[in-house]
Structure 1
Amino acid sequence: MKKHLLITITCLALTASSFAQQPTNWDKWNWLLGQWKGEGSGQPGQGGGTFAFSFDLDKKVIVRKSHSEYPATANKPKVIHDDLMIVYLDVAGNPSKAIYFDNEGHTINYSINYADNTIILVSDKTSNTPVFRLTYTLLDNNFINTKFEMSRDGEKFITYIEGKSKRV
């Protein structure tokens, strides 16, 4: 009995250490790391803000923090939006998932896809919730385009907000 327990514990320890030693591959995110300042328009109105992507936890995650403001209009009060997104690695060490939180109480779980110079985050389908798509496209070394879209069916997306950002 003790022998079986010892073998089980040893196997679990070796498995855990092999997961911990998986190489991390952030190559597809390197161009997005750093500080950005942007302007855009959409349903909240014309606005601007800043955001940053940075490594954390010994490069095991990328953290995005964002702050944007949309001035008051005749029909709407001023809107301040803050959010936090964490990009994390799958078992193979690839950045394929993200989780998002904001000051409005939203939590969004994303799966990540890649195309040439583009990172596409698509939310998991859940009942009674739109599907969200967040796309970052590299325009050149100093500019990116960010688009946030929503869909009721996960196929036909409507742009909620879109804008260009400059590296600062």
Structure 2
Amino acid sequence: MKTTTGTYLLLAMLHFPLLSPAQEIKADTIWNPLRPLVGHWRGEGDGADGKGTYEKNYQFVLNGKFIEVRNKTDYQPSKENPKGYHHEDVGYISYDKARKTFVFRQFHGEGFVNQYVLQNTSNDRRTLVFESEAIENIPSGWRARETYSIEQGVLKEEFNLAEPGKDYAPYTTAVLRKVK
């Protein structure tokens, strides 16, 4: 009896190292739809604040449990803003296991905090659509949507806003190229 129990215990112990990497691989594949975003991007855009140069960085942080997003945009001087305008935001994308989806929390230098949920990805996984489920420090009823399309090292980004009771309208669009 002791030999049989010992044999089963030994076999079980030998298999535990094999189970652990398999679990890591499964958890790691959750990030596959967002993996193409990871890297450093630069480009130009246009929108409500005028023409601007964009710099974005997506990187895994905190043991690969989150993607940190850092954005800097410098808008050129315009009639509405003769000195130009500098925008910064930082965000974190997490995987919500209970809802089985990604949540993107974005903190803006202007004081806005947007919380988005990934609504869908295209069949080819090249387009990601995040829609807001909460926005802090703005009148109630506003909605926001971030759409990212990635193909051959080019990131097309659309940011849309919707006033209460209205449809989404373009706010900014940008085209960025992966630099590393």
Cα offsets for 1:17-74 (capped at 9, x unmatched) = xxxx882410001111100002011110011120010000111000000101002123
CA RMSD after TM alignment = 2.1
2:95 is aligned to: 89
Q: 145, 148, 167: which is aligned to 2:156?
A: 145
- Which of the two has higher C-alpha Rg? 2
Q: CA deviation at 1:89?
A: 1.4
Equivalent of 1:33 in 34, 38, 44: 38
**TM-score computed with the length of structure 2 as normaliser:** 0.74
| Separation in structure 1 between the aligned mates of residue 175 and residue 61 of structure 2, nearest angstrom | 25
Which residue of 1 is the match for residue 167 of structure 2?
A: 156
Among the aligned pairs, what percent are the same residue? 22
8 A contact 2:127–2:149 mirrored in 1: yes
Structure 1 stretches of 4+ moved >6 Å: none
Q: Which runs of 5+ in 1 are unaligned?
A: 1-20
- Report which stretch shifted further, 85-94 or 48-57: 85-94
| Counterpart check, 1:98 vs 2:89 | no
Whole-Å separation in 2 of the counterparts to 1:129 and 1:82: 24
2:80 and 2:165 map into 1 onto residues whose CA distance is 31
Aligned partner letter, 1:86: Y
Residue 79 of structure 1 aligns with an amino acid whose one-letter code is: Y
Structure 2 matches for 1:99-118, cutoff 5 A?
Answer: 99-116=105-122, 117-118=126-127
Q: How many residues align?
A: 147
